[in-house]
Amino acid sequence: MGSNTKQENVAPRKSTRRENIYERLKSQVASFRAQPGQHLSITNLAATFHSSNTPVREALVQLAAERLVDAGPTGGFHVRNFRLAEMQELLHLSRLLLSSCIRDAVHDFEFGGLPRPTALDLQSRYRATRVLRSNPEETAAFVAGVFRGVARMSGNNEIVDIVSNICDRTHHIRAWHVQEIPSGRRFSDQLAVLLESLQRDDRITSALWLDRLLEHQVDRLPHVASKALAEMLLATGI
């Protein structure tokens, strides 16, 4: 009993320097805010983060293990090149995993609490589309939060980790999918129906709308990928 009391009084652990650097680097590489193939200099990054080399190196090693950056044979790290086939495989895998999470759920859906995108509550089709396109990162993060919530329904930590990694690796293409959506109102309605069905534990409707959402992403991937790649190359001056 005394041991349990001591554990309850322990203060929450603060994030370490390495964890903070890891999160900042992950945000940058997941959003492709650097040139594909660009060398990630540990020394330069350490100077940027006002840190020693060690936490930067440790963060890059973790990102390489998660396939968010590439590690060279000599130990150097580089921004990953955009790979269409990889994105297709990840989206197909997410369809399989998330469908099974709903079908074989052992927990109710619990959302992580990300702010609800403004577009979901707009009645105007034009305004909803404009709002989605003006801030695609917000909606992309919200959709990823829904996917993670669905993964937690499985009660399987390995599935949760895999889905979370897929969300990180497909973040950029998901944001571009949102930005290129022809009808923001239709997308918002579909997402709202998915959320409502998950929250009332209607597994049949949830599975149907989740699969439709992911199928639409897969179908539009070649078009969206070409737009995203062109923008990346333009932004980096290639």
User: pLDDT per residue over 112-151, tens digit each?
Assistant: 666 776 666 655 556 666 666 677 788 888 889 999 999 9
The answer on pLDDT for 157 being more than 90 is: yes
Q: Model's pTM, two decimal places?
A: 0.80
CA distances from 63 to 11, 67, 79, 137, 211 (A): 28, 6, 10, 20, 29
Q: Of the CATH numbers 3.40.50.620, 3.30.465.10, 1.20.120.530, 3.40.190.10, which one belongs to the domain with range 84-235?
A: 1.20.120.530
pLDDT tens for each residue of 23-71:
888 888 877 777 777 888 899 999 998 989 999 999 999 999 999 888 8
Domain 14-79: state its class: mainly alpha
Matching fold, domains 14-79 and 84-235 = no
Summary mean pLDDT of the chain: 81
Measured distance CA(150)–CA(90) in Å, rounded: 16
pLDDT tens for each residue of 66-76:
998 888 877 68
